A and B are shown apart, each in its own frame.
Chain A
Amino acid sequence: MPLLSLLIWLPVLGAIIVLIVGKDTNPNVSRWIALITSIITLLLCIPLYMGFNGHSYAMQFQEHYQWIPVYGINYSLGVDGISAPLIMLTVFTTLLVVIASWNAINTKVSQYLASFLVMQSMVTGVFAATDAILFYVFWEAMLIPMYLSIGIWGSANRSYASIKFFLFTFLGSALLLIVILYLRSQNHSFNIIDYYSLKLSLHAQLWIFAGFLLAFAVKVPMWPVHTWLPDAHTEAPAGGSVVLAALMLKLGAYGFLRFTLPITPDASHVLDKFMIGLSLIAIIYIGLVAIAQTDMKKLIAYSSIAHMGFVTLGSFMIFIIIRKTGSIADAYMSLEGAMVQMISHAFSSGAMFLGVGVLYTRIHSRLIKDFGGVANTMPVFAAFFMIFAMSNAGLPGTSGFVGEFMIILSAFKANFWISVAAASTLIWAAAYTLWMYKRVFFGKIANDKVAALVDINFSDKVLFTLLTIGVLGIGVYPLPLLNMMHGTVGHLLTLSLQTKVT
């Protein structure tokens, strides 16, 4: 069974059916079709998980067809320990978005659901592609549904935000294409795995690194190319924010692991301090910026950037660790921490965006000052949101803790001051998250609108229960997740530590 192809193309099929059948007069038909489509793809993840061998670093579930033979471009798919968890995350996130739209979206419902189903396909395709051009096609094609979803269903300033999002990400990814073409001119192959063994001079590697950096740093996003994110997050509908936070940002980090580290190990080695510096700026400076926000979505957006700083920190710290201690195990923990952080951040920030979405559909405001005492009128919702806020702050027992702890722990082996700077996030994250929580949920009921709030209904309860399972599951028992990654992370480390200069 071509499992990966099914995972990629089934949602597209669902989207086409939704578009054909769905009318504005019968939104529930579209919703049910979309829900069934995402549940089927979620069920398809079970054979993916069961059949996956975590000890092997090789590509699994491979599919290979010729696509454009004259240029040697193939439709080749495969997953390893980095991409398989991310594919499952993608499928799960889209299910959440579909459920969340039940209450939140009432205009052009079929187009909305179709956009997100297509987006799921494209993101899955990015994680599954092992051909560089196929990867790039999915990577770029994703911009179309994302652009539309921000622009059509976003809030007041949506046009500006969507165009800014499009131009920023297009700028980054366009140079990725040049790098791919350059690599292909060196070894006449578009297979990503072939690039891992390609010998490149340090000079060439530095240029390639720069191209990759621009492409992936915009997506992660790293300081200083992060400015599109607060705008896009803020203006996007709740579902769009979730996909941006849970999936879009992961693409950049995935790019670093799939391309930058194994293809340009020497350049990564040379520039690791630079990358660590940028990551620490994201963690500290953006963390401080988040504290000052008055808009809840903006606050979560900035906290996303800070959390993603950990992913890049964990990825590029391996070189310092090896130089300092020579211990593969410590570097291994750093890299694996980065992977876990990617997954856990998706849960905590996705959940918080959905929570803010619930408040926004009721009061039509995202400003913290318009709220206060919500816990009095929406106790169930407040309890759920508490869990997510704690995860965002990195409380032990939640998913947010695992990745950050692994990275901070390995940072001690690298450099005391790096670990101090990284650990300061526990203060900043607690400050911005809990302070926001206090102002929105606790205290006296602020105004009549808050007094009139009704607690969440059944579909939202399902949604938040699913998220809670995710957040606490990874927090308490991350072993199944780690087991999937072991083989691949080890191999990636070997590739990153070899030299490719001839």
Chain B
Amino acid sequence: MPNLIPLLPEIFMLSMICFIILTDLILRSKKPGVIYYLSQFTLFGSFIITAYLYSSPVITSFSQSFILDPLASLLKIFIYISSFFVFWFSRVYVSERKMPQAEYYVLTLFSILGMMLLVSAHNFIVLFLALEMSTLPVYALVALWNDSPYGAEASMKYFVMGALASGILLYGLSMLYGATGTLDMVAVSQSPHDLLLVFALVFILVGIAFKFGAAPFHSWVPDVYTGAPTAITLFITSAPKIAAMGLAFRLLVDTMPVLQPEWQQILIVLSIASMALGNIAAIIQTNLKRMFAYSSVAHIGYMFLGLLAGQTAHGYAAALFYMFSYTLMAIGAFGLLVILSSKGIEVEEISDLRGLNSRNPWLAFMMLLVLFSMAGIPPTVGFFAKLWVLESVVQIHLVWLATLALVFAIIGSYYYINVVKVMYFEEPDTAAPFVCPDNLTLAMSVVGMMVLILGIIPSSMIMLCRSVF
């Protein structure tokens, strides 16, 4: 009998999902509020269980194919928190557009379950299955809104690209298996340096870069971000990125420590390409969702800086901190779009934000914090996120890379402050104030204030990120 204790959060999540499906069947989709609160309760319950298991020693289960270590627990907690915000922001949006509601929550929860397994996977089979489990529901989610003209197209693109990426990743994994004869990460990590391993590494890195949406494997990102309903984009840009962190840590750090010099080189290239392409392409966008899509490509580039700096420079902790703060900012940015879209109109263009400061100063201010955080201006969390990754890059004596990263950050700051310009300096098209439900104002305020407060006292957060490595 395998030890089921480390799987408790997953077991709880799965049981709750089944319960939610049954409840919806009994309620005949009449009371979506119940489903919403049940879903939030599911996240909350998993959070409690994961937090309870957090301090336990590292446990493996199912003949070492599943691991519960602090890294997995921390990533899971980040996934719960971001999904909690996603549900909070999306509830009105989803119901106003008459999307199938129970399906929205259930599919999202299934995807979250996949991510939880992914960050805990310690065996290539489990890893790959979990990866598929986390992405398949998202393909459906993108196409969930029947009235959307672009949903199906975006879903199809996402599916084809995602399948391609999975295939490449799987090919790399199969090569690892061919070289070492084992599917176990620990066993692979102890095998000596081998050219075939390097060959496999390239395929695996391409797969990872696809999942993150790093340049030059980013082509699906802008299309999917734009085509998906905004609430779904909000989800795609948050939890899956954290899960992809888990994928990267498990495959690169845990499985191939001996190849660190090799994957460092490749990550440098990917990082520069992402920062350059993301920041420059974002400048010319007029569609906000597309702009934030390219901005996410750029942010992945910065996160890679931490990843490539390695453990001695505390780069992994910096990368984790970066990812979490990026997720927070992305939730704020897309959350605002979801809020503004709640009146049955889709807010997607930059010009739709015109004069927001005159129509609703508080929302504009929260968005201001989020945007300056993305640009990396203190006192917001985005500054410290950039500071930590740059610090780790300087630690490994790549001062030129840090300088280059900052140059791209300066280029990138333009499109963020341009949005601030539209919100603050221009007159609104209609003078009518934008009245936002208190509930959603609160959600936006929580995110905005977290961006600010973590920017003023980032200490405990970075300690937490450091403690898991």
CB-defined contacts of B326 to chain A, threshold 8 Å: none
Q: Chain A 407-431 against B: per-residue CB contact (8 Å), 1 yes, 0 no?
A: 0000000000000000000000000
Q: A70-B466, A178-B403 are in contact. Are A162 and B459 (CB under 8 A)?
A: no
Total interface residues on B, CB under 8 Å, equals 36
Query: Could you tell me which residues of chain B, from 203 to 262, have a CB within 8 Å of some CB in chain A?
Result: none
What separation, in Å, do the CA atoms of A178 and B425 have in the docked complex?
Answer: 32
Residue contact B387 to A166, C-beta cutoff 8 Å: no
Query: Could you tell me which residues of chain B, from 414 to 441, have a CB within 8 Å of some CB in chain A?
Result: 414, 417-418, 420-421, 424-426
Residue contact A177 to B387, C-beta cutoff 8 Å: yes
Choose the segment among A27-35, A145-153, A463-471, A478-486 that binds chain B (4+ C-beta atoms closer than 8 Å).
A145-153
What separation, in Å, do the CA atoms of A71 and B394 have in the docked complex?
Answer: 14
Interface centre among B379, B407, B417 (most CB of A within 10 A): B417
Residue contact B425 to A167, C-beta cutoff 8 Å: no
Residue contact B425 to A141, C-beta cutoff 8 Å: no
A433 CB to nearest B CB, Å:
32
CB-defined contacts of B424 to chain A, threshold 8 Å: 148, 151-152
B110 CB to nearest A CB, Å:
37
Choose the segment among A81-89, A90-98, A168-176, A309-317 that binds chain B (4+ C-beta atoms closer than 8 Å).
A168-176
Residue contact A147 to B417, C-beta cutoff 8 Å: yes
Residue contact B402 to A178, C-beta cutoff 8 Å: yes
Interface centre among A144, A148, A151 (most CB of B within 10 A): A144
B459 CB to nearest A CB, Å:
5
Query: Could you tell me which residues of chain A, from 314 to 362, have a CB within 8 Å of some CB in chain B?
Result: none
- Interface residue from B368, B399, B420, B463 paired with A178 (Cβ < 8 Å): B399
Q: Chain B 395-412 against A: per-residue CB contact (8 Å), 1 yes, 0 no?
A: 100010011001101100
Q: A68-B462, A70-B466, A170-B410 are in contact. Are A159 and B421 (CB under 8 A)?
A: yes
- Interface residue from B379, B402, B414, B463 paired with A167 (Cβ < 8 Å): B414
Instruction: Let me know if B391 is at the binding interface, CB within 8 A.
Output: yes
- Closest chain A residue, CB of each to CB of B416: A166
Instruction: Let me know if B383 is at the binding interface, CB within 8 A.
Output: yes
Q: A144-B372, A185-B395 are in contact. Are A136 and B390 (CB under 8 A)?
A: no
- Interface residue from B390, B417, B425 paired with A152 (Cβ < 8 Å): B425
B461 CB to nearest A CB, Å:
10
What separation, in Å, do the CA atoms of A152 and B413 have in the docked complex?
Answer: 19
Instruction: Let me know if A2 is at the binding interface, CB within 8 A.
Output: no
- Interface residue from B378, B388, B406 paired with A141 (Cβ < 8 Å): B378
Residue contact A147 to B420, C-beta cutoff 8 Å: yes
Instruction: Let me know if A386 is at the binding interface, CB within 8 A.
Output: no
Instruction: Let me know if B32 is at the binding interface, CB within 8 A.
Output: no
What separation, in Å, do the CA atoms of A152 and B356 have in the docked complex?
Answer: 12
B277 CB to nearest A CB, Å:
20
CB-defined contacts of B357 to chain A, threshold 8 Å: 108, 111, 152
- Closest chain B residue, CB of each to CB of A138: B378
Q: A144-B372, A177-B406, A178-B390 are in contact. Are A163 and B379 (CB under 8 A)?
A: no
Kindly count the residue-residue contacts between A and B in the assembled complex, taking CB atoms under 8 Å apart: 86
A292 CB to nearest B CB, Å:
30
CB-defined contacts of B45 to chain A, threshold 8 Å: none
A112 CB to nearest B CB, Å:
12
Residue contact A163 to B421, C-beta cutoff 8 Å: yes
- Interface residue from A144, A159, A174 paired with B410 (Cβ < 8 Å): A174
Instruction: Let me know if A456 is at the binding interface, CB within 8 A.
Output: no
What separation, in Å, do the CA atoms of A310 and B361 have in the docked complex?
Answer: 43
Residue contact B413 to A166, C-beta cutoff 8 Å: yes
CB-defined contacts of A136 to chain B, threshold 8 Å: 378
CB-defined contacts of A177 to chain B, threshold 8 Å: 387, 390, 406
- Interface residue from B377, B378, B383, B425 paired with A151 (Cβ < 8 Å): B425
B397 CB to nearest A CB, Å:
8
Q: A151-B421, A159-B425, A170-B413 are in contact. Are A181 and B378 (CB under 8 A)?
A: no
B157 CB to nearest A CB, Å:
34
What separation, in Å, do the CA atoms of A133 and B386 have in the docked complex?
Answer: 13
Residue contact A137 to B379, C-beta cutoff 8 Å: yes
Residue contact A144 to B377, C-beta cutoff 8 Å: yes
Residue contact B399 to A182, C-beta cutoff 8 Å: yes
Residue contact A137 to B378, C-beta cutoff 8 Å: yes
Residue contact B462 to A70, C-beta cutoff 8 Å: yes
CB-defined contacts of A171 to chain B, threshold 8 Å: 410
Instruction: Let me know if A140 is at the binding interface, CB within 8 A.
Output: yes
B278 CB to nearest A CB, Å:
17
CB-defined contacts of B413 to chain A, threshold 8 Å: 166-167, 170
Q: A67-B459, A70-B466, A174-B406 are in contact. Are A162 and B390 (CB under 8 A)?
A: no
Q: A111-B361, A167-B413, A177-B406 are in contact. Are A185 and B394 (CB under 8 A)?
A: yes
Residue contact B463 to A163, C-beta cutoff 8 Å: no
B406 CB to nearest A CB, Å:
4
- Closest chain A residue, CB of each to CB of B317: A70
Instruction: Let me know if A213 is at the binding interface, CB within 8 A.
Output: no
Residue contact B417 to A163, C-beta cutoff 8 Å: yes
CB-defined contacts of B387 to chain A, threshold 8 Å: 133, 177
CB-defined contacts of A70 to chain B, threshold 8 Å: 459, 462-463, 466
What separation, in Å, do the CA atoms of A431 and B459 have in the docked complex?
Answer: 56
CB-defined contacts of A152 to chain B, threshold 8 Å: 357, 424-425
Instruction: Let me know if A143 is at the binding interface, CB within 8 A.
Output: yes
- Closest chain B residue, CB of each to CB of A168: B410
CB-defined contacts of B426 to chain A, threshold 8 Å: 159
- Closest chain A residue, CB of each to CB of B422: A159
Instruction: Let me know if A226 is at the binding interface, CB within 8 A.
Output: no
- Interface residue from B383, B388, B410, B414 paired with A163 (Cβ < 8 Å): B414
What separation, in Å, do the CA atoms of A178 and B457 have in the docked complex?
Answer: 22
- Closest chain A residue, CB of each to CB of B395: A185
What separation, in Å, do the CA atoms of A420 and B379 have in the docked complex?
Answer: 46
Instruction: Let me know if A69 is at the binding interface, CB within 8 A.
Output: yes
B131 CB to nearest A CB, Å:
33
Instruction: Let me know if A233 is at the binding interface, CB within 8 A.
Output: no
Q: Chain B 104-123 against A: per-residue CB contact (8 Å), 1 yes, 0 no?
A: 00000000000000000000
Q: A111-B361, A163-B417, A166-B413 are in contact. Are A181 and B463 (CB under 8 A)?
A: no
CB-defined contacts of A166 to chain B, threshold 8 Å: 413, 417
CB-defined contacts of A158 to chain B, threshold 8 Å: 425
Residue contact A178 to B406, C-beta cutoff 8 Å: yes
CB-defined contacts of A148 to chain B, threshold 8 Å: 420, 424
Q: Chain A 272-305 against B: per-residue CB contact (8 Å), 1 yes, 0 no?
A: 0000000000000000000000000000000000
CB-defined contacts of B379 to chain A, threshold 8 Å: 137, 141
Q: Chain B 345-387 against A: per-residue CB contact (8 Å), 1 yes, 0 no?
A: 0000000000001000100000010001000011100010001
A231 CB to nearest B CB, Å:
15
- Closest chain B residue, CB of each to CB of A136: B378
Residue contact A141 to B414, C-beta cutoff 8 Å: no
CB-defined contacts of B410 to chain A, threshold 8 Å: 167, 170-171, 174
What separation, in Å, do the CA atoms of A167 and B409 have in the docked complex?
Answer: 11
Residue contact A162 to B462, C-beta cutoff 8 Å: no
A204 CB to nearest B CB, Å:
11
Q: A151-B425, A177-B390 are in contact. Are A137 and B402 (CB under 8 A)?
A: no
- Interface residue from B403, B406, B417, B459 paired with A68 (Cβ < 8 Å): B459
CB-defined contacts of B457 to chain A, threshold 8 Å: 67
What separation, in Å, do the CA atoms of A158 and B421 have in the docked complex?
Answer: 10
Residue contact B409 to A174, C-beta cutoff 8 Å: yes
What separation, in Å, do the CA atoms of A178 and B394 have in the docked complex?
Answer: 8
B468 CB to nearest A CB, Å:
14
What separation, in Å, do the CA atoms of A45 and B207 have in the docked complex?
Answer: 60
Query: Could you tell me which residues of chain B, from 453 to 467, have a CB within 8 Å of some CB in chain A?
Result: 457-459, 462-463, 466
Interface centre among A140, A174, A175 (most CB of B within 10 A): A174
What separation, in Å, do the CA atoms of A181 and B402 have in the docked complex?
Answer: 10
Q: A143-B377, A163-B418, A171-B410 are in contact. Are A181 and B466 (CB under 8 A)?
A: no
Can you list 9 A-B contacts (CB < 8 A)?
A: A70-B463, A140-B383, A141-B378, A143-B377, A148-B424, A151-B421, A159-B426, A163-B417, A181-B390
User: Which 3 residue pairs spanning A and B have beta carbons closest together?
Assistant: A137-B378, A151-B425, A174-B406
* A-B contacts besides A152-B425, A159-B426, A166-B417, 9 pairs, CB < 8 Å: A141-B377, A141-B379, A144-B372, A159-B421, A167-B413, A174-B409, A181-B391, A182-B394, A184-B394
